[in-house]
Structure 1
Amino acid sequence: MKHFISAILITASLLLSACGSSKSVVDPVQSKIKEMVDTKFTAFKTANQLPPSAGVLVYLLTPQGTWTASSNLPEDVGANTHYRIASVTKTFTSAAIMLLDQQGKLRIDDPVKANIPGTSIPYLPDTPEYQIPFKAKITIRQLLSHRAGVFDVTNDKIPVGLGVPYNNRYYLDYVETTKGDTLHQYTFDELVGVAAITRQTYWAPNGGYHYSNTGYSLLAKIIERVSGKSYDRFLADNFFRPMGLKNTSAPWRSIDRSIPAPFLRGYSRQEASEAFIEKTQDNMSPNVAEGNLISTPADAARWMRMILSGKGPLNKAQIARMTTIPPGNESNAYALGFVSTSTMGIGHTGAHPGYLNLVVYNPQDDVTAVVLLNYTDLSDPGKPMLMMGQIVSEAKKIAGY
């Protein structure tokens, strides 16, 4: 089952304070952080039923250098180990939209039904799959901030009584369990089409905040139509290569289930009564643009620091727009693809079966932190976030920040 309550993780972790880590074995900072991480994780593991191979890693990128510490993970797991960053992917999608806006190729306050500037081509196709409720009123900015009311096809059940075969089911479960199509190649058209066909919505645009992966599927479609490139190619050309993200990739084919070596194995369970199973390999095609990216702690930290400090392709004005919380989102601190707090900094959390992570940059001290767990318990997804936040906060203090 693919669905995961990402919004819980965003709110729970990013409202905590953050940042700190360790260097080499002879470094006293390294030793103290390692000891702290071991103490925190051992206590958490003792109090909770975790898989034997579950562990945690924290990585710090600071003006003084980098530190990495882990607990209960293999010796070779470190800053350059690949894992699924899940919804941290949304920061790339948001930055892509903001870059196209900066280049004058789109306007984030345009309705999605409008034409791409200088063309007679609409941002979204005028086909049945894209006739979602309130399409004429939804703006690109509202999609970025989860204020468009777009039904979340991958996280929410389809209600009963709609005359579709996936009534009262999660759509992905219907495809992969009922139909048995585990290698199904999902597309934006298909996923958005479920919301269009069933006429599902949460409310009219700007009626409230509701986390929506499908909203980010729409943003990816806009990126492709405006740029003339596939989503993965756009990221590679504008972010991965020019920013030196050599270990970051955007798998989109259903058959691309593996993670490049070296990688961290992930474990997950759906219900508290179930055993944990390995979930390292997976079909990421339903998660393109909202959760499909693979990266490493070092690359994830480099990305967050560069894109938010002005060392990437976005200028300071665009960064300010991207990290400003819109009216109505104050309680969850969600801006445009980034969670923005005055105390801890700016970033995002991510959860995909087998992997939990937090990536955050604090512009006040120029410190970036990554915290990674290699297990998920979907029966209580938010439980580890307090521990992860505490690890980051205490590691930062040990490192002198």
Structure 2
Amino acid sequence: MIALYALTTAACTNDGDKGPSMQDQVDQIMHDYDGDVPGASVLLIHNGNPVIKRSYGLADLATRAPAKPETNYRLASVTKQFTAASILLLAQDGQLQLDDPISKWFPDLPAATDAITVRHLLSHLSGLIDYEEVIPPQMTGQLHDADVLKILETQDKTYFAPGSSYRYSNSGYALLALIVERVSGKTFATFLRERIFQPLRMMNTVAHEEGVSVVAHRAFGHSLENGAWARTDQSQTSAVLGDGGIYSSIDDLANWDAALYDDRLLTDSSRELAFTPVTKTDDPTIEYAMGWRITREETGGTTLWHSGETKGFRNVIVRYPDEHLTVIVLTNRDDPEPYQTARAIAGLYLKKK
């Protein structure tokens, strides 16, 4: 095997006559990511301790850089929990109210959006038009959050009356990042760094801005094209930060997960808002809160999770708060979606209890 890194606790040692160890079983689940292919990093945490911490394959096929626990992957929509947390921090500070209309900061949005509130954006209840579907032909370069606003200013309609239904909205989360900027007076990337990443010692996590910041230990995205892996690291929407622009690692995300159990970042009431179901989604088994999807498992109880899919990356974080168990799977390839992989890894541990 090529470029396989591991750190495990005693819980991962071989069980002797009881069969293959949990580590061996995880390696089998992740077999397709190992070797001279786009890779993955996997972390299973229980009670704040790493049970499985393992990386597979390559972070960059061009340089043959191996994936490691410190490798930073573009999180895609896993970013949304950080965008939501930023808004909740500003609400804690008394600088905004969740029921404020977004017209307070975006007076040039058309009348069809007048009833949309911050709370609607957080839970995908806004009905905003998907900006990806209406990019004007003259916008040929990479888009930023401010470009999303410009596009939405031309759309005097919504999919439904705000608050009346659910539709997943990258548009809404781009606007949330802009609200953070207009309320705090700082760029979204700076706010994240100063209010979340630095306090939690997520030292290599960054909302990446080309020409402004650097991604340390960077993984590059890949897609399988005509039977071979090709670098597909960026799309036209990859520079939009609020809906998916953060790069992070399993090492740094362990600190994020730990902070979600106490008040070092968000208060009890803010965490309750983040984790309490607000709406049903288009999947009857899944509800949405604020930056988190919620399901209920027969084994493990309630789960808080979010996946992220973008050009060349597929990621997921799945938390079982009743069990103090979290599984994170980050990958730099376009397929497969790793949610079921993370659940399978969690299931291995839950069965051992």
Matching residue within 367, 372, 378 for 2:325: 367
- Residue 192 of structure 1: how far off its partner (Å): 2.2
* Residue 102 of structure 1 pairs with residue 92 of structure 2: yes
**Residues 349, 305 of structure 1: CA spacing in aligned structure 2 closer, same or farther, 3 A cutoff?**
farther
- Residue 142 of structure 1: how far off its partner (Å): 0.6
Q: CA RMSD in A?
A: 3.2
* Residue 313 of structure 1 pairs with residue 313 of structure 2: no
**Residues 363, 388 of structure 1: CA spacing in aligned structure 2 closer, same or farther, 3 A cutoff?**
closer
2:106 corresponding residue in structure 1: 125
**Residues 24, 281 of structure 1: CA spacing in aligned structure 2 closer, same or farther, 3 A cutoff?**
farther
Aligned sequence identity (%) = 29
Task: Tell me if structure 1 keeps the 8 A contact 2:173–2:242.
Answer: yes
Matches of 2:119 and 2:13 in 1, distance apart?
46
Summarize the alignment of residues 1-400 of structure 1 with structure 2, pairs less than 5 Å apart.
23=8, 28=13, 32-42=21-31, 53-63=37-47, 65-66=49-50, 67-73=52-58, 76-113=66-103, 122=104, 124-127=105-108, 130-131=109-110, 134-154=112-132, 157-158=133-134, 166=137, 175-176=139-140, 181=141, 184=142, 186-253=143-210, 255=211, 259-261=215-217, 263-269=218-224, 275-280=228-233, 286-306=239-259, 308-329=260-281, 331=284, 332-342=286-296, 343-377=301-335, 382=337, 384-394=338-348, 396-397=349-350, 400=352
Matches of 2:200 and 2:128 in 1, distance apart?
32
Task: Tell me if structure 2 keeps the 8 A contact 1:322–1:337.
Answer: yes
- Residue 200 of structure 1: how far off its partner (Å): 4.7
Q: Which amino acid aligns with 2:115?
A: K
Q: Which amino acid aligns with 1:289?
A: G
Name the SS of the counterpart of 1:287 in structure 2. coil
2:62 corresponding residue in structure 1: none
Stretches of structure 2 lacking an aligned partner (at least 5 in a row): 1-5, 60-64
- Residue 92 of structure 1: how far off its partner (Å): 0.7
Q: Which amino acid aligns with 2:255?
A: R
- Residue 71 of structure 1: how far off its partner (Å): 4.4
**Residues 305, 360 of structure 1: CA spacing in aligned structure 2 closer, same or farther, 3 A cutoff?**
farther
**Residues 27, 286 of structure 1: CA spacing in aligned structure 2 closer, same or farther, 3 A cutoff?**
closer
Q: Which has the higher contact order (CA 8 A, sep 6+)?
A: 1
Task: Tell me if structure 1 keeps the 8 A contact 2:83–2:176.
Answer: yes
Q: Which amino acid aligns with 1:370?
A: I
Q: Which amino acid aligns with 1:140?
A: V
Q: Which amino acid aligns with 2:46?
A: T
Q: How many residues align?
A: 332
Task: Tell me if structure 2 keeps the 8 A contact 1:89–1:289.
Answer: yes
Stretches of structure 1 lacking an aligned partner (at least 5 in a row): 1-20, 114-121, 159-163, 167-173
The CA deviation string for residues 147-203 of structure 1, in whole angstroms up to 9 with x for no partner, is 10011213xx33xxxxx954xxxxxxx744xxxx4xx4x333321222331435211
Name the SS of the counterpart of 1:197 in structure 2. coil
Q: Which amino acid aligns with 2:221?
A: G
- Residue 64 of structure 1: how far off its partner (Å): 6.5
**Residues 285, 72 of structure 1: CA spacing in aligned structure 2 closer, same or farther, 3 A cutoff?**
closer
Name the SS of the counterpart of 2:154 in structure 1. helix
Matches of 2:262 and 2:176 in 1, distance apart?
23
Matches of 2:264 and 2:223 in 1, distance apart?
35
TM-score of the superposed pair, with normalisation by structure 2: 0.82
- Residue 392 of structure 1: how far off its partner (Å): 3.4
Matches of 1:34 and 1:259 in 2, distance apart?
29
Q: Which amino acid aligns with 2:249?
A: T
- Residue 323 of structure 1: how far off its partner (Å): 1.2
TM-score of the superposed pair, with normalisation by structure 1: 0.73
**Residues 205, 360 of structure 1: CA spacing in aligned structure 2 closer, same or farther, 3 A cutoff?**
same
